[in-house]
Amino acid sequence: MRLVMLGAPGSGKGTQGARLAERLQVPHIASGDLLRAQVRDRTELGRLIAGCLDSGKLVPDEQVLDLVLPVVLAAAAGAGGYVLDGFPRSVAQAVKAESVLAESDAGVERVIFLAVPEPVLVERLLERAGAAGRSDDTPEVIGDRLRVFQAETRPLIDHYRARGLLLEVAADRPAEEITQAIVTIL
C-alpha cells in the first residue's frame, strides 16, 4: 500500500504514520525527519535549510524532492509500499512527485486526511513545545506553521479529492481509535 498522511502540524501524522507503517509492513517516510537529519549531520543541504526549519517555512521544492523521492522510490520497489508523512506539502510538490513516481508505478494510492479542529492543534503543539525538543515547536513558530498549512498544504485536500484518493478521518480522539478507523476504511 502506498499512502500519504495529510494533516496540519499537530494532527498526528507522525504518530499515525508510524502505526500504519508497522501494520502494513512498509517504511514510514517522514520528510521532516529526513530534513532534520541533514541539519543534525551538518551536511551542505542541512546548512542551507536550517533557517527554513527553524522558522516553519517550507524548504524549497527542489531540495525536498531531491531528498525525499529517492527514498520513496526505494521503498516502493523494495518493500512494496510506503507511508509518506509531511510530503507533499503543496500542490506543486504533489504534481512534481506524481510524474516521477508514475514512471515507476510508485504513485500514491490513498491519502488519509487527519481532520482536527484548529484549537486542538494549537493545544497539542503547545504541549509538545513544553516537552521541549524541536526548534520549531515554540509558540512563535507554531502560528506560522499553521498559517503555512492553511495557505500551502490545505489545497492538497481538493487536489486529492478530485483524483478520488482522499479518505478523511476525524482525528480528535485517542490514537488507537484513529488507527482502527483508518485500517477499517482502507
Which residues in this chain contact ligand AMP in the complex, by CB under 6 A? Answer: 9, 31-32, 35, 52-53, 56-59, 64, 86-89, 93, 136, 145
Is the backbone of residue 86 left (phi > 0), alpha (psi -120 to 50) or beta? left
In the complex, minimum distance from the CB of residue 33 to ligand AMP, in angstroms, rounded to a whole number: 7
What is the strand order of the sheet 110-115 is part of?
28-30, 82-85, 2-6, 110-115, 166-170
Q: By C-beta, is 8 or 169 nearer to ligand AMP?
A: 8
In the complex, minimum distance from the CB of residue 38 to ligand AMP, in angstroms, rounded to a whole number: 10
Q: By C-beta, is 158 or 180 nearer to ligand AMP?
A: 158
Q: What's the CA gap between 89 and 125, in Å, rounded?
A: 18
Q: By C-beta, is 9 or 12 nearer to ligand AMP?
A: 9
In the complex, minimum distance from the CB of residue 89 to ligand AMP, in angstroms, rounded to a whole number: 4
Q: By C-beta, is 49 or 169 nearer to ligand AMP?
A: 49
In the complex, minimum distance from the CB of residue 104 to ligand AMP, in angstroms, rounded to a whole number: 19
Residue 48 makes CB contacts below 8 A (sequence gap 6+) with 63
